[in-house]
């Protein structure tokens, strides 16, 4: 009997191992080689299969499994860690003359007529050190001051192109790989767009929340304390070196091997003989770089032989065997034709410069935001001026300055509009703010943007309702707010330009389908100031229904974790605004899902047995993810925090519990197991009895309580 059991476990273990290897291979194909061999559907199926087996056999879950990328718990701060060897920075230059001087210094010092270099892209992100031991990713750190950096292991683990385990060809000893974390242009654009959409009416400072360039975005995303945020940012990694030579003779060989071990190495690295070849290769990339899916701000030139590198040594700051060649900034002079005032969803009026189109960083540009009126005044930009435009971080066009010496006298000073350019309503400038805001709730610009937000994927997810159709619906008078969407008639829709029968049907069915969206999505869709996706979810969890949420007092709203007075105030006033009340009636009449009491926390069904108790979770819990376990604790009235302190009541420890459990013991905090926890909240209440062996977390949401 025992034998059969053992055999069964062995074969499950093998199957888990096989699935992990297969998924790792597909991750590599997809994220590193950009050449997927299977469809997303097939990939998801493999992941699901692995998740299923791991949930049934929690003791077989290991930290290098592809299912374990996101730990799901914020940390309180980063620990400082020491690099194996210091991470130096690099001398850099914009001129080929300096490159020739560099080459001469190297040749003289090595006493050779010609040097073999490796020339690679200079990735514009932030440097990191990745440690692997027994092929497993064990630690990752930022550069910091070069000697010690921040331990950002949990954030790095969420980056899909970073292998949690190297393949068989890699060495077993502890190695430290050096590389760069970057943000692909696509992720950068997506994130800034999201941030722009989340700008709130009365928080003009939010404009400053936009990332200036992918490098800042990468740094911000890696240095957040919550790995779940990093996971959403779509970061990438490129490896370009190691601490030491790892037993290889040349840098090129090292790169080849890093690639063989499964690490992402950018392919355009080339061996160049002599500085002329180096300069040719740099020239080749000045234009070609714009076609890359990520930013590079130059090329890095490295002496190929490790023996020669050693001979050359380093100054206090820089190695003498490497130099960065930075590409010239992409700027162009053009004529500012006019300035348009755009009104956003939040009512902010943004001046946008329209200029004669110029070629910049590989694309044609003809417009750039001027941000606000203070900036226009500070730069003394006038209509008709010649201006210098640049691509900030190579992506966002930006007006650097005007050229007053080129003025003819016919240029016009740009004045702040006194009325909203869209609705003619009053505009308001908040104290100490550089932004003008249209105050008219019915302004078509605001209405259109709020409907686009309402229909967006993370809100009501109405397919086929993009900005162009919304424009037509609002301009034709058919829709005055998002509530009207649910009362659209097909024959009227067909009156819209280019609206064919089939598109009308699709749109209507998309609208009908959206009525079933979960209440959290609806709360997000409403466009309440300061309420984004996460807050909407928290509100849905706490109140369960729109009725309860709309009746909540300021105090009750503030009881929801992470909701402060400002957010509470915007939720409270949203539901007391007569216009909004009217729209909500339309949504109710249309039969949207306004939620139900069962869904809410603190319903009488759930005994608040953990009231006031503070938990910290650590290790792998059997069959339930940490976020789901945290949710469960909150539903019973407890709270969860990321780190152990004297105030912690219980540390809930699963398999491979780490330092948190040790700290708990030191502080005399009680450490309990999952089973003990279940006893605390009452038998059977977790809804998992393992009978059908499905994913515990899945059942948890369908269990008896909910």
Q: Indicate the residue among 58 and 319 with the shorter CB distance to ligand IVH.
A: 319
Q: Given 3-state DSSP classes, what are the helix, strand and coil percentages for the chain, each rounded to the nearest 5?
A: 40, 20, 40
Q: Give me the least distance between CB of 565 and ligand IVH, in Å please.
A: 41
Is residue 300 at the binding interface for ligand IVH, with CB under 6 A as the rule?
yes
Q: Indicate the residue among 320 and 515 with the shorter CB distance to ligand IVH.
A: 320
What phi-psi label fits residue 313: left (phi over 0), alpha (psi between -120 and 50 degrees) or beta?
Answer: left
Q: Taking contact as CB under 6 A, which single stretch among the options 85-93, 462-470, 575-583, 667-675 is the one that binds ligand IVH?
A: 85-93
Is residue 219 at the binding interface for ligand IVH, with CB under 6 A as the rule?
no
Selected from 89, 267, 363, 509, the binder of ligand IVH by CB under 6 A is: 89
Is residue 306 at the binding interface for ligand IVH, with CB under 6 A as the rule?
no
Q: Which of 377, 369, 372 is nearest to 398 (CA)?
A: 369
Q: Give me the least distance between CB of 635 and ligand IVH, in Å please.
A: 45
Is residue 325 at the binding interface for ligand IVH, with CB under 6 A as the rule?
no
Is residue 423 at the binding interface for ligand IVH, with CB under 6 A as the rule?
no
Q: Indicate the residue among 253 and 662 with the shorter CB distance to ligand IVH.
A: 253
Selected from 61, 106, 301, 324, the binder of ligand IVH by CB under 6 A is: 324
**Per-residue x/- marks for ligand IVH, 610-629, CB under 6 A?**
--------------------
Q: Give me the least distance between CB of 249 and ligand IVH, in Å please.
A: 18
Q: How many Cβ atoms are within 10 Å of 97's Cβ, its own excluded? A: 9
Strand 650-653 relative to strand 670-672, pairing: parallel
Q: Which of 493, 514, 495 is nearest to 504 (CA)?
A: 493
d(CA 519, CA 602): 17
Tokens representing 662?
A: 């040790």
**Rounded to whole angstroms, what are the CA distances from 226 to 70, 229, 304, 641?**
10, 6, 39, 12
| Sites for ligand IVH among residues 113-142 (CB under 6 A) | 120, 122-123, 127
Q: Indicate the residue among 144 and 527 with the shorter CB distance to ligand IVH.
A: 144
Q: Indicate the residue among 32 and 61 with the shorter CB distance to ligand IVH.
A: 32
Q: Which of 571, 680, 558 is nearest to 629 (CA)?
A: 680
Question: What number of CA atoms fall less than 13 Å from residue 239's CA on the CB side?
Answer: 28
Question: What is the DSSP code string of 426-460?
Answer: BEEE-TT-S-EEE--TT-HHHHHHHHHHHHSTTTT
Is residue 240 at the binding interface for ligand IVH, with CB under 6 A as the rule?
yes
Is residue 700 at the binding interface for ligand IVH, with CB under 6 A as the rule?
no
d(CA 445, CA 467): 11
Selected from 46, 88, 292, 333, the binder of ligand IVH by CB under 6 A is: 88
Q: Taking contact as CB under 6 A, which single stretch among the options 44-52, 318-326, 331-339, 563-571 is the one that binds ligand IVH?
A: 318-326
d(CA 546, CA 528): 13
Count of residues binding ligand IVH (CB under 6 A)?
16
Residues in the chain: 706
Q: Give me the least distance between CB of 84 and ligand IVH, in Å please.
A: 14
Q: Give me the least distance between CB of 314 and ligand IVH, in Å please.
A: 8
Question: What is the DSSP code string of 347-413?
Answer: -EEEEEEEEEEEEETTEEEEEEE---HHHHHHHT-EET-EEEEEEETTTEEEEEEE-GGG--S--EE
| Sites for ligand IVH among residues 533-552 (CB under 6 A) | none
Q: Give me the least distance between CB of 320 and ligand IVH, in Å please.
A: 10
Q: Give me the least distance between CB of 362 and ligand IVH, in Å please.
A: 20
Q: What secondary structure letter does DSSP report for 95?
A: -
Q: Indicate the residue among 144 and 227 with the shorter CB distance to ligand IVH.
A: 144
Please say whether the beta carbons of 650 and 670 come within 8 A. Answer: yes
d(CA 377, CA 185): 31
Q: Give me the least distance between CB of 615 and ligand IVH, in Å please.
A: 39
Backbone angles phi and psi of 167, in degrees to 5: -85, 180
Q: Taking contact as CB under 6 A, which single stretch among the options 3-11, 98-106, 277-285, 319-327 is the one that binds ligand IVH?
A: 319-327
Is residue 241 at the binding interface for ligand IVH, with CB under 6 A as the rule?
yes
Tokens representing 170?
A: 């890699």
122 is catalytic: yes
Q: Give me the least distance between CB of 125 and ligand IVH, in Å please.
A: 7
Is residue 271 at the binding interface for ligand IVH, with CB under 6 A as the rule?
no
d(CA 5, CA 532): 49
d(CA 43, CA 50): 11
Is residue 319 at the binding interface for ligand IVH, with CB under 6 A as the rule?
yes
49: Cα separation from own chain's centroid: 27
Name the strands in the sheet holding 670-672, side by side, starting at the edge strand that comes first in the sequence: 639-641, 614-618, 650-653, 670-672
Q: Can you state the angle between helices 214-222 and 185-197, rounded to 10 degrees?
A: 80
Q: How many Cβ atoms are within 10 Å of 298's Cβ, its own excluded? A: 23
Q: Indicate the residue among 300 and 681 with the shorter CB distance to ligand IVH.
A: 300
Please say whether the beta carbons of 281 and 117 come within 8 A. Answer: no
Which position's Cβ is nearest ligand IVH? 127
Is residue 176 at the binding interface for ligand IVH, with CB under 6 A as the rule?
no
Q: Indicate the residue among 151 and 385 with the shorter CB distance to ligand IVH.
A: 151
Q: Give me the least distance between CB of 148 and ligand IVH, in Å please.
A: 15
Q: Taking contact as CB under 6 A, which single stretch among the options 40-48, 84-92, 643-651, 679-687 is the one that binds ligand IVH?
A: 84-92
Is residue 239 at the binding interface for ligand IVH, with CB under 6 A as the rule?
no
Q: Indicate the residue among 127 and 278 with the shorter CB distance to ligand IVH.
A: 127
User: Residue written as tokens 């304390």?
Assistant: 225
Q: Indicate the residue among 89 and 553 with the shorter CB distance to ligand IVH.
A: 89
Q: Indicate the residue among 180 and 541 with the shorter CB distance to ligand IVH.
A: 180
Tokens representing 92?
A: 């850099």
d(CA 468, CA 477): 15
Is residue 669 at the binding interface for ligand IVH, with CB under 6 A as the rule?
no
Strand 670-672 relative to strand 270-273, pairing: unpaired
Q: Give me the least distance between CB of 282 and ligand IVH, in Å please.
A: 13
Strand 348-360 relative to strand 436-438, pairing: antiparallel
Q: Give me the least distance between CB of 236 and ligand IVH, in Å please.
A: 13
Is residue 285 at the binding interface for ligand IVH, with CB under 6 A as the rule?
no
Tokens representing 605?
A: 């069904």
Q: Indicate the residue among 164 and 324 with the shorter CB distance to ligand IVH.
A: 324
Name the catalytic one among 122, 449, 521, 548: 122
* Catalytic residue list: 122
List residues near ligand IVH by CB under 6 A. 88-90, 92, 120, 122-123, 127, 143, 180, 240-241, 300, 319, 322, 324
């Amino acid at each position: 009997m025992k034998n059969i059991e053992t055999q069964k476990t062995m074969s499950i273990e093998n199957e888990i191992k096989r699935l992990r290897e297969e998924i790792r291979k597909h991750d590599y194909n997809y994220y590193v080689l950009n050449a997927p061999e299977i469809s997303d559907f097939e990939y998801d199926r493999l992941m699901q299969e692995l998740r299923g087996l791991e949930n049934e056999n929690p003791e077989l879950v290991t930290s290098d499994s592809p299912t374990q990328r996101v730990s799901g718990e914020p940390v309180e701060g980063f620990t400082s860690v020491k690099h194996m060897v210091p991470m130096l920075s690099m001398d850099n230059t914009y001129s080929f003359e300096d490159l020739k001087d560099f080459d001469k210094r190297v040749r003289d010092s090595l006493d050779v007529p010609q040097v073999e270099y490796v020339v690679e892209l200079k990735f514009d992100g932030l440097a990191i050190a990745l440690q692997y031991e027994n092929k497993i990713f064990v630690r990752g750190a930022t550069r910091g001051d070069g000697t010690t950096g921040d331990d950002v292991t949990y954030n790095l683990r969420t980056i899909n192109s970073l292998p949690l385990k190297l393949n068989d060809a890699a060495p077993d000893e502890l190695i430290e790989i050096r590389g760069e974390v970057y943000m692909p242009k696509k992720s950068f654009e997506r994130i800034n767009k999201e941030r722009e959409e989340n700008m709130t009416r009365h928080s003009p400072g939010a404009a400053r929340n936009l990332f200036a360039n992918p490098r800042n975005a990468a740094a911000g995303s890696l240095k957040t304390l919550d790995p779940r945020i990093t996971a959403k940012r779509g970061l990438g990694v490129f490896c370009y070196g190691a601490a030491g030579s790892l037993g290889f003779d040349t840098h090129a060989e090292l790169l080849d091997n890093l690639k063989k071990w499964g690490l992402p190495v950018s392919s355009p690295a080339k061996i160049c003989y002599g500085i002329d070849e180096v300069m040719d290769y740099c020239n080749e990339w000045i234009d070609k770089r714009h076609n890359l899916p990520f930013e590079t701000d130059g090329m890095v030139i490295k002496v190929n032989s490790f023996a020669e590198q050693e001979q050359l040594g380093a100054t206090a700051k820089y190695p003498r065997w490497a130099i960065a060649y930075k590409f010239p900034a992409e700027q162009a002079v053009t004529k500012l034709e006019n300035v348009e005032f755009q009104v956003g969803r939040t009512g902010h009026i943004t001046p946008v410069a329209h200029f004669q189109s110029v070629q910049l960083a590989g694309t044609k540009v003809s417009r750039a935001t001027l941000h606000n009126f203070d900036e226009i005044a500070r730069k003394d930009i006038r209509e008709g001026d010649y201006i210098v435009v640049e691509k900030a971080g190579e992506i966002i066009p930006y007006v650097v300055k005007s050229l007053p010496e080129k003025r003819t006298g016919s240029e016009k000073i740009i004045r702040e509009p006194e009325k909203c350019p869209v609705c003619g309503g009053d505009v308001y400038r908040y104290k100490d703010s550089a932004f003008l805001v249209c105050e008219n709730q019915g302004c078509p610009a605001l209405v259109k943007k709020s409907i686009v937000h309402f229909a967006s994927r993370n809100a009501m997810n109405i397919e086929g309702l993009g900005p162009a159709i919304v424009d037509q619906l609002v301009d034709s008078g058919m829709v005055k707010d998002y509530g009207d969407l649910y009362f659209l008639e097909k024959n009227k829709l067909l009156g819209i330009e280019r609206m064919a029968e089939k598109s009308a049907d699709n749109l209507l069915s998309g609208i009908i389908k959206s009525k079933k969206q979960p209440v959290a999505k609806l709360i997000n869709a409403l466009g309440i100031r300061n309420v984004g996706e996460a807050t909407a979810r928290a509100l849905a969890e706490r109140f369960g229904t729109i009725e309860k949420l709309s009746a909540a007092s300021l105090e009750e709203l503030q009881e929801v974790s992470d909701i402060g007075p400002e957010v509470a105030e915007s939720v409270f006033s949203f539901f007391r605004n007569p216009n909004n009340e009217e729209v909500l009636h339309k949504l109710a009449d249309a039969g949207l899902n306004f939620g139900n009491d069962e869904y809410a926390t603190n319903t009488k069904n759930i005994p608040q047995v953990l009231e006031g108790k503070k938990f910290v979770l650590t290790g792998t819990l059997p069959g339930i993810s940490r976020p789901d376990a945290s949710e469960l604790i909150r539903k019973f009235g407890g709270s969860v925090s990321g780190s152990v302190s004297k105030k912690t009541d219980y540390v809930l420890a699963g398999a491979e519990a780490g330092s948190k459990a040790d700290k708990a013991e030191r502080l005399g905090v009680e450490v309990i197991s999952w089973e003990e926890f279940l006893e605390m909240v009452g038998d059977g209440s977790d809804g998992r009895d393992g009978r059908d062996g499905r994913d515990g977390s899945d059942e948890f949401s369908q269990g008896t309580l909910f």
